[in-house]
Structure formats: structure tokens, C-alpha cells
Structure 1
Amino acid sequence: MTQLTTNSDPTLSDNTANHSPTSLNSFAPRLLDWFAENGRHDLPWQQHQTDAPNPYIVWLSEVMLQQTQVTTVLPYFARFMASFPTVQDLAAAEWDTVAEHWAGLGYYARARNLHKGAKQLVEVIDETGDFPQTLASWESISGVGPSTAGAIMAMGLHRYGVICDGNVKRVLTRWAAIDGDITKSATTKELWALAERLTPKENSGLFAQAMMDMGATLCTRSKPACLLCPLQEDCLAHAEGRETDYPVKAKKQPKPSKFSNALLIKDIDGNILWLQRPDNGIWGGLWSLPLQFIKKTDGKISGKTTVKNDTKLNVASHEKIYEAEFTTAEQIINEWLDKHKLEAKAVSKTLLDDAPIKHSLTHFHWYLTPQSLTLNVKQTTKITEALQAAEININWLNADAAQVTLGLPRAMVKILE
């Protein structure tokens, strides 16, 4: 069995009483022996087999992997590395190019932070000649929290670093039967203390990789492969047959729902009007169809959900809603259409199916009803001039060209499909 020096300071964890010192000290060696034989060693961002690790690669992958599975990230990572092989390349890239590469990966604030973080890293490198070398320095980079910073320290610099992401929390709550709500700060503090206690002073990068693999391949959410687990003999959740009771998390409240029309405003050649979203807010900096707010509802929507025209909110009489739900560009378009008495027609997927397209975001479900309107040459010129006068970034592109050229949120791709 691998021999390692672990962090044995007993003050670091409040949750070691249920495990003997032998169990605590053998945790990392058992995990690393398993990882050497059964772990993943071919992921393109892994640095544990590299003598001169590249923190840029680890940082990029860690940001992409936040709330996203490895299989989804792989093609995006390859595309980023092909276009931006160094942090300097990423920092120098135009935001539209970065957004196009990220489109479809979701949680778009990550892309904004990534681009901003690249510029910050280049400033550090220009000043010091190297990437940040301390945990605090990495945590000062946009979008980098304690676990991401720990991963970069451990895997990207081969120094001591501790991670405590979702996979790690699942492993630890089961192994130590931590029954506190993981959304609460007290439980978070307890989990971090235990993670620090178990992480070896040497080879913490290997340990981080192994913990990630454990959570991703064995200690999974619904069907953990306990018989294959190197930690099963002293896993308290397994001993009680309660693996899937952990981690404990407060029951989520049903998400509210929001309903909008998605306007496919076309010119006579079939090109569609696209708007670049404001930097702040949902889909910041990406390209979207003009959206027309209808209504919001609380709670869960089940079954077929159809929004009829007679439910459309008269937003002009609700100024606060109008300001909050319509971007400046959408206000211009909505007022222009009203002034010229133009109305888009619903686009049904089939003659019998006029249900909106559902797109779920972190905090709400969005139901988008495609509606189409074709403008003549004069109308196309006028609406373009109105938007350009307000310094709105627009594009007239057909569906195929938009998907290739613009950074589109997944919801827009759903509509085009």
C-alpha cells in the first residue's frame, strides 16, 4: 500500500470521531492505490503524469467542469485549446469569439469570468513572469473559488491543495455519515475540515484526481458501486445501507416559470434578426432572438403547457415589468411593431402541437413560444436603423449561418431545431 504523509492535525476536523486514526490515515493510500489501477488517466487536462504541469489547462478545465459532466466538456475543451492554446491567446480574443466557443455549455457567467480571468492572469504573468503561485492569488481571479483554486494548486502546480467540490462532498458525507444539510455553511465548514484532514501533504494532486474519479465513477448519486469501492470497509453510510441518503440536502422548492415569445423576425431573403444580449443578466454577451415577455407563474408546471394569445400581458401598462423583462433592444422592437401594427404568428412544431419550448435555467423554467414575422425591404431598413441608432449590436443571418457564426444559447438552438 502507498505510504503517504497526511495532514494529521486533529484540530482540522470536527467529524473524525466516528473513524479511528487508522481509518483516517489509510484513507488516502487506499484511494490512491485504487486510482493507480482503476482511475482515469487519459483526460486531456490531467497533469498528474506531467513533470512540468500547466496551470492554464487545469484552470480552463476546472471552470468548464463546474456543474457540467466530463463527457459534455471534452469537445468544448478541445475546441478552446485549438483556438486558445495559451492564456495569452484567450485573453487577446474578442468576447464574441469566446462566446461562440462556449455556446451550448451553459452557465454563461462562467465564460465571462473565464475571459476576464484570462486577462487578469496575463497581468500577473507580465508582472511576475509566472502564473499565480499561492491559493489566495488564485482565489483573486474572477470565477475561481476555494475548490477550483485548490485544484489548480494541487494539479496545475503540483503543490499542496485541497478540493471540496460536489463529487468530494458526496464521497465524504457517505464515508463519514455527515448528516448536516450540505447547503448550510456549518456543514460546508465541516466538510472542508475533513477534506483537509484526509488530503496528503505530498501528492495532493493525485489525491484530488482520485477523489474526482471516485465521485464520478464509483460513488455516484443514484447507484454507487460500493462493492468496487476501496473505502467500503469503513464507509458508515454503506455499513447502514443508507448510501443514497447522503449527501443531505434541503428539498428544493419548485422553480417558478416564465413565459415569453421568441420572435423570428425575417427579411425577404429569410435572414433572421439576432440581438446581442447585454453583458449583465441571462446569456450575457450571447446572441438571441428578440424575446417578448408574457407572464410569470410560481411553482411547477406539469403536463402540456400552452400559452394562448389572450394570456399575453399588456406590458405597456406595467412599466416596472416592462423595464425588468425587456432589454433596450426588445423595447425598441416591441414599440416599433406596435406602432406599425405588425404581429408575429405562432410557429407550431406540428399542426396539433402549439406548446412552447421548455428551457430550464438555474432559478426558473423558461417557456419560449416561437413566433414568425417577415418584413418587406423598407420595414427591414427601418427597424435596422432604429436599433443601430440606439447602438444595439444586431445581425441578419439565416438559421444555419447563425449557428456557425454566432454564440447562441442552447435555448435558441432548440428553437431553430
Structure 2
Amino acid sequence: MPSPNQHLSHNHTEAHTETHTEIELDSFAPRILTWFDHSGRHDLPWQQHQLDTPDPYPVWLSEVMLQQTQVATVIPYFERFMASFPTVQDLANASWEQVAEHWAGLGYYARARNLHKGAKQLVDIIEQTGTFPQTVAHWEQISGVGQSTAGAIVAMGVRADQYGGDRGVICDGNVKRVLTRWAGIDGDITKTATTKALWQLAERLTPTRDSGHYAQAMMDMGATLCTKAKPACLLCPVQTDCVANAQGKQSFYPVKSKKSPNPSKFSLALKLVCDDKTLWLQRPDNGIWGGLWCLPLAFVKKQSGEKKPGAPLLATWQQEATFEAEYNTAEQIIFAFLQAEQLLNIEQVNLHSTDTVKHSLTHFHWFLTPLSMTLTIEQGMRLTQTLQQALQTLSWVDDSAQNSLAKPKAMQLLASG
């Protein structure tokens, strides 16, 4: 790792920082820190948990929650977690059901699974060494912790740089936006060469000591000043030598290749009712909504009709057993059961009904339309037996008890509709 006084070594980064003098490079962090002291956010709940002595636990917890999620959304979830699991040992000892219930609605559920797994890994490390991991490299070995998250934890939670240990360097989305604008880095940030250049620049600018305050300051810069739209350049502490500001091209940075529009997929969320109770399935740990409770999903053929708001979008039952990755073993069993019971006799369903829930995932948009079916007690017993023989986790739940299930937000909306 280069020292703060070394020159940049990557040609692409040098090409975009050659207009910055050593004085400007060396003064970058002090200017950011001065701004943060006077204008940054100091009242976030995870900051309050580490005012006196370093504590990696709340930093790790908050950093995982903040991945792809806004601060305002994270705060109540963080506070609930800290109230129920005040230590990493409490989180490690909690059941998955407890963790999932606390996470439900926050999205990107693989984070919750990694968090629970990571807590167990951390407890093992603490039992062996007496302390949390102290270096970026060791934190990167924890499930769900990448390079920037590890840097943030070490910077803000370990603070080893105060006594000669590792400093924490971060380069998340907010930081990349600040650095590409300030240095005029016009390479595609999804490309390896640009990523490497940004990390080298981040390392060059991060102070040897007090990297924790600097990390918080850079996050705040990206979140409150150097925002995606309408950056507040007049208030920026580094505006005088910012390339994007000088060019008047703030919106140009960062450069990112455009993705193709996400496709749409359509499913039916089956409300299978038997004896006034609805069937819920716990999804497998791997895959979408892993470990959470969901209504069974049904399969429909390719849609027909106009694809515009309010227009009917019709689909017929898919009779062939061609299943996509989103559908699990339990749903395939249910589909075959409903076919055998001749309950799939609806010719068309409207997938643009007022009850349809749109759920956007990383790679596609998912439209889920609820459809109720009533089973006899005998049918319900046979379906339950078949699912249990296949080692599927299920529960017949009455309406009053549905709130106790850990469900993704889309299923919360479907259940309440």
C-alpha cells in the first residue's frame, strides 16, 4: 500500500491527476476533514455506538445494511437489530427466523444470510484470538464483506491506524463519484482498469492516521454534496481544483456503460386456502428471498395484450413443466398437485390487475398477481403430506398470524391486499 506522500503509479490515474500538484493532493484530506467537522453528519445511530472506544460490530452491521440502501431506510432497521442483538454474540446465537424477521422489508436478502453467517465466523475468531479481526485482509474473509466494506470497518470500527496498524481505505459508489469528478477520471467505472485506478487514488488521498473520520467524511461528501444530480459545488471544500467543476461537466462523471433494460417476468402468487388458513412456504436458503416465507408462485405462459398501464395483460396456465430458477421444489410439487386435482382450469388471468405487485430485482422486474384457490380439508392434508415427504418447510397460517412470518416486502403487500 503506498504511503500518503508517494506519487500515483497507475498511468490512467496519473493522466487525470497530473494537473493536481502535490500540495493539492496532500491537502485533499485536510480540506475534506475540516468540512466534515463543521458540516458533516454526526448524529447517525451507528456513530453514537462508537464515540468512546472502537467497536467494529455496529460499523460492520451498518455497512452491510447500507449496501445498495439509503441511510434513511437503514436507520430503523439498524436500531431494531441493535436493540435485539446488541453484541455479535447475540446475533450469532439468534435463529435464522429471528434474523429474517428483523431484516424483512430491507431487501437484498443475501446480505442478511451473510450477516448471520458472518456473526458466527466472528464469534469463532473472537474465541480464538480474543478480539475482532484487526486488518482489512482478515475482514475480507468474513462472509459478505468486500474490499470497501472491510476498509470502512477497519477505518471506523477498528481504528488501528491510531497506533500504527492498518488504516482503512474505502472506495464505494459515493467515493467513486467524488474521485472521478475531482480527478476527471473518464474511464468506465465498471471496467477493471478504472476500478484499479480509483483504488490507487483512494489510497493516495487517505491519510495515514484518522482514516475513520476521513471515511465518514467521504461518504458524507457523496451523499450530501457531490450527489448524482444537482451537486452542491459551491459548498464543496475541494471545488477549487475539481476537474468536473472546472469543466462544468459534473453530470458526465462517473462514466458507466449503459445496461440493457431489464426484462419483465410474470408469476401468480397463489393464496391456497384450506380450513380458513393460507399455505406459506419457506424458500430455500440459496436464491431469491432465501429463508423467507412466501406464497407459492405459479407458472404462466407468455403474455398477450397491450403492455401499457391499465391495459389487460392476459396469460394462460403453463402446462409444460418448464421451470425457471425462481421456482423451487415445493412450487413444482404444488403445480403438479393442482394439475392432478384439475384446479388449473382458469383459461386467462389479468396480470395487470389492481392487486398486482411489481418487485424490481437486479436483473429483471417481477410482476406478482395474487390468485386465491380453496382446497378441501382432504386436499390440504394430501398436499401437506406430499410436501413434507419432500422435506419442504411449510405452514398453514390464519390471517391473524401472518404478520409473525418473516416475509419479503412484496409478500407483505400481497398478504395485506
What TM-score does the superposition give when structure 2 sets the normalisation length?
0.91
Name whichever of 276-285 and 15-24 sits farther off. 15-24
Residue 283 (structure 1) aligns with:
289
Q: Secondary structure at the match of 1:322?
A: coil
Distance 1:282 1:236 in 2: 42
Which of 165, 170, 191 lines up with 1:184 in the alignment? 191
Distance 2:107 2:199 in 1: 27
CA distances 1:341-364 after superposition (whole Å, capped 9, x unpaired): 113879989xx9457322110111
CA distances 1:351-386 after superposition (whole Å, capped 9, x unpaired): x94573221101111111111012222222222222
CA distances 1:283-318 after superposition (whole Å, capped 9, x unpaired): 111111100122579xxx6545644243x33233xx
Residue 44 (structure 2) aligns with:
43
Residue 414 (structure 1) aligns with:
413
CA distances 1:197-230 after superposition (whole Å, capped 9, x unpaired): 1100011000000000011111111111111111
In structure 2, the CA distance between the partners of 1:22 and 1:47, relative to structure 1 (3 Å rule), is: farther
Distance 1:324 1:205 in 2: 42
Residue 111 (structure 2) aligns with:
110
Task: Give the aligned CA root-mean-square deviation in angstroms.
Answer: 2.2
Give the letter for the 2:176 counterpart: K
Distance 2:49 2:212 in 1: 7
After superposition, where does 1:342-361 map in structure 2 within 5 Å?
342-343=343-344, 353=353, 356-361=356-361
Contact 1:304–1:355, Cα closer than 8 Å, also in 2: no
Which of 2, 6, 13 lines up with 1:9 in the alignment? 6
CA distances 1:259-282 after superposition (whole Å, capped 9, x unpaired): 11110111232x211000011111
Distance 1:127 1:48 in 2: 25
Contact 2:274–2:375, Cα closer than 8 Å, also in 1: yes
Q: Secondary structure at the match of 2:300?
A: strand
Give, in angstroms, the shift of residue 71 of structure 1: 0.4
Q: Are 1:139 and 2:140 matched, yes or no?
A: yes
Give the letter for the 1:113 counterpart: N
Distance 2:140 2:50 in 1: 25
Residue 389 (structure 1) aligns with:
389
In structure 2, the CA distance between the partners of 1:170 and 1:314, relative to structure 1 (3 Å rule), is: same
Residue 216 (structure 1) aligns with:
223
Contact 2:355–2:370, Cα closer than 8 Å, also in 1: no
Give the letter for the 1:274 counterpart: W
Give, in angstroms, the shift of residue 240 of structure 1: 1.1
After superposition, where does 1:3-402 map in structure 2 within 5 Å?
7-12=4-9, 14-15=13-14, 16-46=17-47, 50-159=51-160, 160-269=167-276, 271-295=277-301, 303-304=309-310, 306-310=312-316, 312-316=317-321, 321-322=322-323, 324-343=325-344, 353=353, 356-402=356-402
Give, in angstroms, the shift of residue 11 of structure 1: 3.7
Give the letter for the 2:216 counterpart: Q
Give, in angstroms, the shift of residue 332 of structure 1: 1.1
Distance 1:400 1:347 in 2: 28
Give the letter for the 1:372 counterpart: S
Q: Secondary structure at the match of 1:174?
A: helix
Distance 1:130 1:292 in 2: 48
Contact 1:344–1:373, Cα closer than 8 Å, also in 2: no
Distance 2:240 2:217 in 1: 18
Distance 1:209 1:47 in 2: 13
Contact 2:314–2:349, Cα closer than 8 Å, also in 1: no
In structure 2, the CA distance between the partners of 1:287 and 1:353, relative to structure 1 (3 Å rule), is: closer
Q: Secondary structure at the match of 2:385?
A: helix
In structure 2, the CA distance between the partners of 1:193 and 1:37, relative to structure 1 (3 Å rule), is: same
Give, in angstroms, the shift of residue 324 of structure 1: 4.0
Give, in angstroms, the shift of residue 399 of structure 1: 4.2
Give, in angstroms, the shift of residue 47 of structure 1: 6.3
Distance 1:245 1:143 in 2: 31
Contact 1:344–1:371, Cα closer than 8 Å, also in 2: no
Contact 1:358–1:367, Cα closer than 8 Å, also in 2: yes
In structure 2, the CA distance between the partners of 1:12 and 1:58, relative to structure 1 (3 Å rule), is: farther
Distance 1:295 1:373 in 2: 19
Give the letter for the 1:69 counterpart: Q
In structure 2, the CA distance between the partners of 1:30 and 1:130, relative to structure 1 (3 Å rule), is: same
List runs of 5+ in structure 2 lacking aligned partners. Answer: 161-166
Name whichever of 249-258 and 392-401 sits farther off. 392-401
Give, in angstroms, the shift of residue 137 of structure 1: 0.6
Residue 3 (structure 1) aligns with:
none
Contact 2:312–2:350, Cα closer than 8 Å, also in 1: no
Distance 1:358 1:162 in 2: 38
**How many residues are aligned here?**
400
Distance 1:261 1:367 in 2: 8
CA distances 1:84-120 after superposition (whole Å, capped 9, x unpaired): 1111111111111111111111111111111111110
Give the letter for the 1:401 counterpart: A
Contact 2:63–2:149, Cα closer than 8 Å, also in 1: yes
What TM-score does the superposition give when structure 1 sets the normalisation length?
0.91
Contact 1:12–1:196, Cα closer than 8 Å, also in 2: no
